[in-house]
Amino acid sequence: MSRVILCAGKRAVRPYVLKTSGVRIFTIEELCYALSRSLDMLDEGMIDREMALFIKNDLGFEDRGKLLEEMVLTKADLKSRLVVIFCTCDYFDRDEITRICNELDELSGMSRIARHKRRADRYMESGQIRRAAAEYRKILADRDSTQLSQAEYGNVLHNVGVSDMRSRLYLQAAEYFREAYERNENIESL
């Protein structure tokens, strides 16, 4: 079952554009949603003074905006900054914020390339095959892809093959599956 959450606060006249995705944000609820969906791509630099000023001036949450601006200036960690934003409205309850904080703890132990893979895997699991394929191809082109184990790299190749197969690029997909099997030795790739 899903729920509908009405945007109860002020709607900004000019949107804030998220650096991670280019998504245009007009309300605090939209900001909370968008940030929670891109945890694996966030760092402290993305929750910056500009966002604090947007919250303070454009959305009308003066105290929260000032607090976030102070946290940016004192170089507070990502989790603390996010909690301030998430507690600005009732979009998330306490359990959801705790779950998000636990996920952030898990992500903080991952390399940048592993976070990209996790994001691509999420796209794949949710059926967003083209977005997943674009992320997987970025991973393959990234010089830091050497941080992945042979099996992980093979799984990335496998998923690019799945994307190509669904796009009816069968010969190209077959090549990805072959190379994936050589690395991950997974019978599914073969």
Residue 142, classed as helix, strand or coil, is coil
The band of 4, judged by pLDDT with boundaries at 50, 70 and 90, is low
Separation CA 19–CA 116 (nearest Å): 16
Taking 60 as the threshold, does the pLDDT of residue 58 lie above it? yes
The band of 167, judged by pLDDT with boundaries at 50, 70 and 90, is confident
Taking 90 as the threshold, does the pLDDT of residue 23 lie above it? no
User: What mean pLDDT is reported for the chain?
Assistant: 89
Average pLDDT over residues 8-17: 89
Other residues' Cβ atoms within 10 Å of the Cβ of residue 60: 14
Say what the pLDDT of residue 6 is. Answer: 66
Separation CA 107–CA 26 (nearest Å): 27
pLDDT digits (tens, 9 = 90+) for 101-156: 999 998 888 888 888 888 888 888 878 888 889 989 999 999 988 888 999 999 99
Q: Which helix (H) or strand (E) holds 53?
A: helix 49-53
For residue 137, give every residue at least 6 positions away whose Cβ sits within 8 Å of its Cβ, in sequence order, or none. 160
Average pLDDT over residues 50-62: 96
Q: CA angle, 37 as apex, 52 and 148 as ends, to 5°? A: 115
For residue 162, give every residue at least 6 positions away whose Cβ sits within 8 Å of its Cβ, in sequence order, or none. 124, 129, 173
Average pLDDT over residues 77-91: 92
Phi, psi of 7 (to 5 degrees): -80, 105
Separation CA 175–CA 157 (nearest Å): 9
Taking 90 as the threshold, does the pLDDT of residue 42 lie above it? no
**174 vs 37, higher pLDDT:** 174
Instruction: Please say whether the beta carbons of 100 and 40 come within 8 A.
Output: no
Separation CA 46–CA 43 (nearest Å): 6
